[in-house]
Structure 1
Amino acid sequence: MNRRVLINWSLALGVSLGLSTLAPKVASADVLDAVKKAGVLKVGTETEFAPFDFIDKGKHVGLNVDLFDEIGKELGVKIEWIALPWDGVLPGLESGKFDIVAGPATITKKRLERYKFSPPIAEATVAILKKKGDASITKPEDIAGKATGAGKATVQLSLLQDLVKKLPKQGEVKEYVGFNEAYADLAAGRIAAVANSLPNIAFVAQTSGAFEVVLPTFGPKTYFGFPENADAEHVKLNEAVAVAMGKIKADGRMGKIQKKWFGVEFDTPAEVKEPSL
């Protein structure tokens, strides 16, 4: 993996839901009708979330880009990307800055109290990433007593902290603003492992040549989905996106996109009604 790609990677998958107080949203017409009339679906995301969203040689690429291209075709609209830091993505969705979020988040019970989610796009179960050739870590429990890290305010950080608490010897768990900083510290030997979702670290390991994935995964089985606004104005849009994604999955396009970016296809349910977290 070249240094440029490493520095661009930030996999901040989760966010605290109480980060800001939003002003009341002014009522407006049905969002799907407005999208169809304008011919544009506005999609909010961060572009430091490889392999879902990232900048490669100045170009916005990733699984989300390919998938929303197909969703746009199904809806008959163009995709307009609005990039911003992850901590501004969900507040931006609620305030109407864009119509839907592309940055996938782990589907949890807490988030479903506030947001609707698209059909899952990939498994989000957590695994450990280590430096290639580190024989001291062959399973998740081998991080006992070692310094580890994960992205701040993420599900992955929470699960890593839970794992460390159960070990006979607890090591330091560092919180990083972005996963790129965590990977840099791992490469430099300042920490022994990084916890993140299996799809993300599998991509990092495959493309870097410097890291390895430690299996098995740990924690409950979870899934990534696109956060959607749960208010009445967005119901028709959310349903249309679900139908479009169902077609994309059924005809094999979803599997091809997953293979392109993860190297494997994920068997995901049509909907996650009762998350494990």
Structure 2
Amino acid sequence: MKATSLFKGLAAAALLFGASLSAHAEDTLASVKAAGTLKVGTETAFAPFDFIDAGEHAGLNVDLFAEIGKELGVSIEWVTLPWEGVLPGLEAGKFDMVAGPATITKARLERYRFTPPIAEATVAILKKAGDTTISKPEDIAGKAIGSGKATAQLAQLSAFSETLPSKVDIREYPAFTESYADLAAGRIVGVANSLPNIAFVASQRKDTFEVVLPAFGQKSYFGFIGPKDADHAALMDVIDAALLKMKADGRLAEMQKKWFGTSFETPDSVKDPAF
């Protein structure tokens, strides 16, 4: 009898513990819905994903999160800061997730949870229009090339530099907008950034910039980031579902065409990034 009572007690405790874990796992989603606000960290110097246009916050991220907000029934509160502070800000709990977006890499997958890809992220070179000294990626050997501080694009530029006969003179910038300004002024001869970004920049300033093709980086994709813990799992699940719904009904492709002039074939998830 005592054994039976003990078993029942343990079973009840296990059920209570399981219910507690389940409720705990839904805490962030529940708090977001209760507040009616999803806090999203980002930088605003990464056109066309996130940038300031005539004093207004604009870009693909703004459009995408407006739709995510509708799907969740909440408003979006943007928290902006330099990119090198965005991921530390997420880990410090300053916001619920990161827009960015960020290139999906092996190291980041170990630390964070990514949404389904929202665009291609393969890295290429932007040069000054009419610069005949750079006609292919290998021509940047020994030249001054800029990239964003603490970015996957910078890491790929560094790796590519090691394969060249003379190393690239790499210049790190807090924001890509600063690197574009230096490129236009002739202080550097190129910028390494993801193809969608530099294609947009070149399309906006055709007399100033050109894209060097082909891209030199490994095939990669951009995604949004959330913490890799049980508290955020339910929130990330519903955001993933919202993005996949937008992909299926064509809204994602329409937004890509609006901001990039083309749409991208992207997988539903990336489990094994190229780098």
Correspondence 1:155-166 to 2 at 5 A = 155-166=152-163
Deviations 1:30-65 (A, max 9, x none): 111111222211111111211111111111111000
Q: What residue is the counterpart of 1:204 in the other structure?
A: 201
Query: Structure 1 residues 95, 133: CA separation in 2 closer, same or farther (over 3 Å shift)?
Result: same
Q: Are 2:77 and 1:80 equivalent residues in the alignment?
A: yes
Unaligned runs of 5+ in 1: 1-26
Deviations 1:151-183 (A, max 9, x none): 122211121122222222334222222222211
Deviation larger for 91-100 or 207-216: 91-100
> Which protein is richer in helix relative to its size?
2
Cα RMSD (Å) of the superposition? 1.5
Higher-Rg member (1/2): 2
Q: What residue is the counterpart of 2:212 in the other structure?
A: 214
CA distance in 1, matches of 2:134, 2:128: 9
SS of corresponding position for 1:218: coil
Return the letter of the residue paired with 1:116: R
Q: What residue is the counterpart of 2:39 in the other structure?
A: 42
Identical columns (%):
66
CA distance in 1, matches of 2:61, 2:39: 13
Query: Structure 1 residues 116, 187: CA separation in 2 closer, same or farther (over 3 Å shift)?
Result: same
Which of 165, 169, 180 is the aligned partner of 2:166?
169
Q: What residue is the counterpart of 2:239 in the other structure?
A: 241
Query: Structure 1 residues 192, 119: CA separation in 2 closer, same or farther (over 3 Å shift)?
Result: same
SS of corresponding position for 1:82: strand
Q: State the shift of 1:29 in Å.
A: 6.1
Correspondence 1:30-179 to 2 at 5 A = 30-179=27-176
Q: State the shift of 1:271 in Å.
A: 0.5
Q: How many residues align?
A: 251
Return the letter of the residue paired with 1:173: I
Provide TM-score, normalisation by structure 2.
0.87
Deviation larger for 59-68 or 72-81: 72-81
Q: State the shift of 1:219 in Å.
A: 2.3
Q: Contact 2:26–2:235 (CA<8 Å) still a contact in 1?
A: no
Q: State the shift of 1:237 in Å.
A: 0.5
Deviation larger for 254-263 or 171-180: 171-180
Return the letter of the residue paired with 1:275: P
Q: State the shift of 1:28 in Å.
A: 8.8
Query: Structure 1 residues 28, 241: CA separation in 2 closer, same or farther (over 3 Å shift)?
Result: closer
Unaligned runs of 5+ in 2: 1-23
Deviations 1:93-145 (A, max 9, x none): 22222111111111111111111001111111000101011122111011123
Q: State the shift of 1:146 in Å.
A: 1.9
Deviation larger for 99-108 or 81-90: 81-90
